[in-house]
Structure 1
Amino acid sequence: MADARFFSSAGPYSVHDLTEKIGLKKHDSDLVLSGVASLDEAGPNELSFFSNNKLKDALLVTRAGAVLVTKPHAHLLPGGCLALLCDDPYRSMAEAAQLFFPEVANSRPRKAAQAGSGNIHPDVVLGKNVILEPNVVIRAGVEVGDGSYIGSNAYIGHGVVMGRDCTIGANATVSYALLGDRVIVHSGANIGCDGFGFAPGAAHVKIPQLGRVILQDNVEIGGNAVIDRGGLGDTCIGEGSKIDNLVHIAHNVQLGRHCFITATCAVAGSSTLGDYVQMGGGAKVTGHVEIGDRCVISANSTVLRSFPADCNIAGTPARLREEMYRDQAFMSRQRKKAQTEQT
């Protein structure tokens, strides 16, 4: 569900008008839809979609007023939920989201929050003892907690809320985000930019990113790191986690508490990392996997599947470190044996 603090809908639209505008079979239903949301968050006046069989359980109990769905899956919808049949629900959802949120589709803030005549919008709420260095830009609806510091040329987008004693480094960008207390964002970092979301086809359709970034208390983000906001849900960085320079966290990632993510790591969209996970430099995690609590991922590993808690993970593709060492030892013995036989 799009947070009204950050996003304003161009709707509502009737189902009749919506289906006509995005090229689906017209419906005469009098249902009026106010926006778009995921299956588990959508309410009776919102549109959702189903394109991933892993979400079948969520489809069975969704409260959405209407769901974009292929004909073979239409029977799974709960009573009272309208099936909007289409060939590609993912693409149709992208087109519907663009209709509801045209400004977001163009990567622009809502018109009411766009630039005024000054760098600091008049309705910004600044706490006590806040320090603003030269050329800071703060947009409408921002709240900055007591004792916070914002460095030169930093940009704080509309609606952002910062807790107490936060530090935003020079040239950092923070948008579509909620920050807890004592959060540190180093110079050049970009928090809350568009996630990489497109519905592929002959002409790719950009998917408006309607989620937020949540940085909980005592999170630290390194220089030039990028954390994408969520697509329909949020990207969340758990309490006390530390993210190094040049790290990329993609949309809808859920990072647990007190994690260490070192330089040049990347975590792809919708993956979940538990508490106290550690990633060595240059390690990568693919999308839609789960890494359990206290796992340690060795430097330059490429994780392509889920792992339970307390695993030591290494290699490309990644596996349990002890398995990799055992296989390497076996191959070494075989090589030495072959060399001996040749002599």
Structure 2
Amino acid sequence: MRRIEVGGSQPYAVEVGAGLLGQARINGRQVALIHPADLPPDFVQAVQEVLAPVVTVEVPPRDDCKTLTVLEGVLSRLATVNLPRDGAVVGMGGGAVTDLAGFAAASYLRGVAFYTMPTTLLGMVDAAVGGKTGVNLPEGKNLVGAFWPPRAVWCDTDTLATLPPTVFREGAAEAYKHGLIADSTLLDRVLSPDFRPGGPGLEDTLADAIQVKAEVVTRDLTEQGERAFLNFGHTLAHALEAVTHHAVPHGEAVGYGMHYAARLSSAQGGADLTERTLAFLRWQRPQPLPHLGFDDLWPYMARDKKADSEGVRFVLLHDLARPYLTRVPEDVLREEFNRWQDEVRAALLPVQ
């Protein structure tokens, strides 16, 4: 088992290892457990046995749960059972559910304790760590939310064995991103055959990827500076998710978005890392890129949360592990968008 410390004004620990769901304890608190409808029943039962929740709230899976309507239903359930101020909300499932559960915890009674039990690779590496919580609007992803750090995070690697291979590879995008922006040793490790459910490289690679995020959010919880670097590839990714109504899942959208950000980085004078991002896409094997033009995606990119009063900002790379935040001229964005489309479609042609 690996333990990663997240510092700051509200420090907590992230534990990574097998069998953690059956060992988690939240002493002296009444607990509300929130989980997606498609979570394996044995995982839900194991957590119910150790936490004895006063209420278990089942929500739609994936981004279908990240709506104001679902949030209202969750908050109403907490109020109906009279969850007290010293109670706790536990979010168990993928990153969408932990986002929702965290925002419910931040909102109910103006804030109750929050714990996360991510059961997907995407949730473990990214969403469950760092205290970003929220839901989506039709106008864009994660436009409503709050910073609300968890009290503890339990990443039970046994849960990853239940994931379809496509979902595991989807989650690997965030780990690979951490390699591009901070720890380049992760790049080859993520693409290694050892990085798989039950594989000998799983726990350490996963923990080291989480360590990258832990160090960044310790220094910058509320994204006033370097935390924005964690959004490498996400400006285009969130636009792809929004315009397709999440038909392109987050991890695959990030895979596509990282290659676009690599193209922009090279165009703006940085190192050419496009072979690295294309290598990841070939490994990930995402669904085919939708037929969309720049003008279809630009309105959503313009509402990206990194935008300020002067416009959209992109996270780019001077080189491996050297990210920076900048604006890019619109003509460059358009030109590189066309090159990006051609390259990813060529890279993902079926093998003859």
Q: TM-score range by the shorter chain?
A: under 0.3
Structure that is richer in strand per residue? 1
Alignment TM-score, normalising by the size of structure 2: 0.26
Kindly indicate whether structure 1 or structure 2 has the higher relative contact order, using CA contacts under 8 Å at least 6 residues apart.
2
Q: Tell me which structure has the larger Cα radius of gyration.
A: 1
Structure that is richer in helix per residue? 2
